[in-house]
Amino acid sequence: MSLKGKTAIITGSTSGIGLAYAKALAAEGAGVMINGFGDAEAIENERKALEEMSSAKALYSDADMTKPDQIAAMVERCTEEIGTPDIAIANAGIQHVARIEDFPPEKWDAIIGINLSSAWHLMRAVVPGMKAKGWGRIICTASAHSLVASPNKSAYVAAKFGLAGLVKTIALETAPHGVTVNCISPGYVWTPLVENQIPDTMESRGLTRDQVMNDVLLAAQPTKKFVQPEEVASLAVYLCGDAAASITGANLSMDGGWTAQ
């Protein structure tokens, strides 16, 4: 499958699943705009590598996903410098683990803002261009936590359940226009987001690092293996192809059997 001539914009894509999306789409020839935070030199190296991989232009945006005006400006810049986004992937996410009585309200607001509201603002910005072209692919990185809950993750679970509902709604709105909207719901993927929540889980549950890894993170996944970012990215590439034109409004699990239980 070739995505040559297509333009993709991916939020939260300077590492982890988001960067895997960018690499997979660039490998198919798409021009890409990546977004996120991190070391400036490392990000520039990734941007250059994406251009070499795709033979198309690659851009970086440091747009803050808590600021709707910056999200809109990011899409506008992508349109001007690469092209109207054909593919938009809402991947930005943060996490905080705590019991509800200990959960800081500002953490709730940040998680809902970045994990859910930013996806809405991204969709709002890209849908008109996709409708005008009569073709588009919108993908959201949800989670097994869009289908089942875990303790101490009230904001994250609420955001991911909301994201699954948002996907279904916008899928219905865009279905007559050649635009598909889906979410991928991985189990635990070995990314900085997962690694960084280990200390909080150790503290909140009084466990060692190994206990968190084996008895908490992988306890729910029958395969007892972390999902790899490249696996998630491969599914996203498939969803961008013509063979997936009838898949819309779907919540696709990739969780090692977690939600089959």
**Which residues are the active-site residues?**
156
> Any idea how long the chain is?
261
Residue 38 has what DSSP assignment? Answer: S
Q: Is the dihedral of CA 41, 111, 86, 231 positive or negative?
A: positive
Contact yes or no for 164/251 (Cβ under 8 A): yes
190/229 Cα distance (integer angstroms): 7
Nearest residue to 198 via CA among 163, 161, 226, 233: 226
HEC secondary structure over 45-105: HHHHHHHHHHCCCEEEECCCCCCHHHHHHHHHHHHHHCCCCCEEEECCCCCCCCCHHHCCH
HEC secondary structure over 171-190: HHHHHHHCEEEEEEEECCEC
Nearest residue to 30 via CA among 64, 73, 78, 90: 78
Distances (CA, A) of 213 to 96, 182, 201: 17, 29, 10
